[in-house]
Chains A and B, each alone.
Chain A
Amino acid sequence: MQSANDHSVRPHWLRVLIIGRRPKATLARIVVLVATCFVTFKFILLPIRIEGVSMLPTYHDRQINCVNRLAYLRHEPQRGDIVSVRLSDPGGIANPSVMFMKRIIGLPGETVSFRSGRAFINGQPLDEPYVKFSCDWEKEPVQCSPTQYYVVGDNRSMAFNFHTQGRAERDRIIGKLFL
């Protein structure tokens, strides 16, 4: 008799599968999960879709990635970091719809130039193992101010004039590529 009563109150297997044996606990878990996802993907890891070929072969067109917005909380950007650069509203908090994705090759105060397609920092050639396509870029030395970083894409096979690169203000750098 006892077991028959137990059987009669047991919830349907489909309900158990969807909302669990304890619906209140399931609801609490869902709320926590949604809140965690919202905070993570809104303020910490910004999901992005890479468009364009300027970062080939490191990143391909239509690739999915995330920008770590907290990467530079404890230290400043480093040479070789791939960062996202905000176009409008420098220093803004809101997540931009469109941003540049480039690699930092020049740090504040340094002078950057290109000779026969090779990058030079303060007159010294920069070792760039990530550059796979050769080029013939020529650019006169430019100096970064104490708040500027020199950013450029990995795909140097593009014509110099069509490759967006140059000095980015620190407050335009949103974060570092996560993957």
Chain B
Amino acid sequence: MKTAFRLAFLAAVAVLGFWLWTIFFPGPEKLVLRKISSLATTATFSASDSNITRAAKAGNLVGYFTTDAQIIFDAPGQAARTLSGRDEIREAAYGGFASLPALKVQFLDVTVRIGTDKQTADVNCTARVTAGDSKDYGVQEMHFQLKKVEGVWLVIRAETVKTLS
């Protein structure tokens, strides 16, 4: 009985230790997931947010991309558009944050594939975007390519994917 209790205690300690290890030293997959989730949070703003808050969020959004990042947007019913580099992304972000009353961005069903070199990652997900106070929302399959730059994961390419060709 005593031995069984000791074994159970050791197992519990091992599980706790592993859990703490993943908290303090997360793997690259977890870091990329956090980055993508954080990107969605930064791109989200409510109608009550002031212009200063919106401008700050738009500025922060640029920080998620590399200097030579590309955003390729080609969705049904929308004009195809490509943004190249941080300046164009910044300009589009400021424009979007200023013109829309509110925006809610969620990245759902996120799958992460880390490259063999552990320096690149491919992310596939479904973006769910709600503009304004409307209950209607748009969904769009997205593909992100991330690169580790000075220890930080940054988006090098973001593009829409045509689910139905």
A residues bordering B, Cβ < 8 Å? Answer: 52, 85, 87-89, 92, 94, 96-98, 100, 148, 151, 159, 161-162, 164-168, 172
Which A residues touch B126, using CB under 8 A?
A: 87-88, 96-98
The answer to whether A87 and B76 have CB atoms under 8 Å apart is no
B162 → chain A closest CB, angstroms: 7
Given known A87-B126, A88-B141, A97-B126, contact A168–B109 (CB-CB < 8 A): no
Q: Which of A85, A94, A148, A164 contacts B76 (CB 8 A)?
A: A164
Q: Is B111 an interface residue (CB 8 A)?
A: yes
Bound-state CA distance A85–B164 (Å) is 9
Q: Which of A52, A97, A151, A167 contacts B109 (CB 8 A)?
A: A97
Residues B119-165 near A (CB distance < 8 A): 124-126, 128, 136, 139-142, 161-165
B32 → chain A closest CB, angstroms: 15
The answer to whether A161 and B111 have CB atoms under 8 Å apart is no
Task: Indicate the size class of the contact surface on chain B.
Answer: 20 to 34
Given known A98-B139, A161-B76, contact A172–B163 (CB-CB < 8 A): yes
Q: Is B77 an interface residue (CB 8 A)?
A: yes
Q: Which of B76, B124, B140, B164 contacts A89 (CB 8 A)?
A: B124
A to B CB contacts below 8 Å, 12 in the list:
A87-B139, A88-B126, A88-B142, A88-B161, A89-B124, A92-B111, A97-B109, A151-B164, A161-B76, A162-B77, A164-B164, A166-B162
The answer to whether A85 and B109 have CB atoms under 8 Å apart is no
Bound-state CA distance A164–B126 (Å) is 15
Which A residues touch B110, using CB under 8 A?
A: 88
A162 → chain B closest CB, angstroms: 5
The answer to whether A167 and B165 have CB atoms under 8 Å apart is yes
Residue on A nearest B143 in the bound complex, by CB? A88
Q: Which of B124, B136, B162, B164 contacts A88 (CB 8 A)?
A: B124
